[in-house]
Amino acid sequence: MAGDAPLWAPTKDQVDAAPMTAFMQAAAAATGKVFSSYAELHRWSIDDREAFWSLVWNFCGIVGDKGAGGGERVLVDGEKMPGAAFFPDAKLNFAENLLKKTGLGDAIVFRGEDKVERRLSWNELHALTSRLQQLFLSLGVKKGDRIAAMMPNMPETVAAMLATASIGAVWSSCSPDFGEQGVLDRFGQIEPVVFIVPDGYWYNGKAIEVADKIAAVAA
């Protein structure tokens, strides 16, 4: 029946160049098994979950420490769901992993409602994140502290989140179109040590000022 025909199928060249194919080859090299199909790889991921997820960590190039003894504790209480714990002894930094790429290629492409377009390369994102990290440290921010942001979606917001994570602090954010009470309800319970705000934002083709809202929230 025509209805059973796939809408699209990759070419052999596309399959050969796919990251999944590279992972299947890595799995074969690590285990000595032959994976001739995705179904066989999936079956192995179920039958030997510890080996599968340990290989995923290595293959994806995750920056961090799997844990004591080289990461033997890959999966604890694997039969419990919820309740299973993956890499319970592992330590990593979210920002370090997101920023491991460098170079002049685009890291962020921003297009604002006011028609502004900005592009940040990986090197520029690194530099902006570093400046914000140093600012937060100079303000005494430490691991476990909370930083709150009432910011639009823009490159500086992303960099501030990464800078927060790089210190080990906790990030929380909301849109600047939140009402005063909404901002207080969200951030009041976490007691942030730094509050990041804009001077305004664009919505529906108009520039919206937020100075009065910020003053009310900070009062």
Q: Is 71's pLDDT higher than 70?
A: no
For range 139-153, the mean pLDDT: 97
Confidence band of 70 (pLDDT split at 50, 70, 90): low
Q: Is 140's pLDDT higher than 70?
A: yes
Q: Is 129's pLDDT higher than 90?
A: yes
Task: Domain ranges for the chain, please list them.
Answer: 2-91, 98-218
**CATH level 3 topology of 98-218:** Rossmann fold (3.40.50)
Per mean pLDDT, which range of 49-58, 65-74, 148-157 is the poorest?
A: 65-74
Distances (CA, A) of 197 to 19, 49, 52, 205: 40, 44, 43, 20
- Please state the pTM of the whole predicted model: 0.84
As given in the structure block, the two tokens for residue 99 are 């920023």
**DSSP annotation of 4:** G
Q: Is 171's pLDDT higher than 60?
A: yes
For range 181-209, the mean pLDDT: 91
Q: How far is CA 209 from the centre of its chain?
A: 30
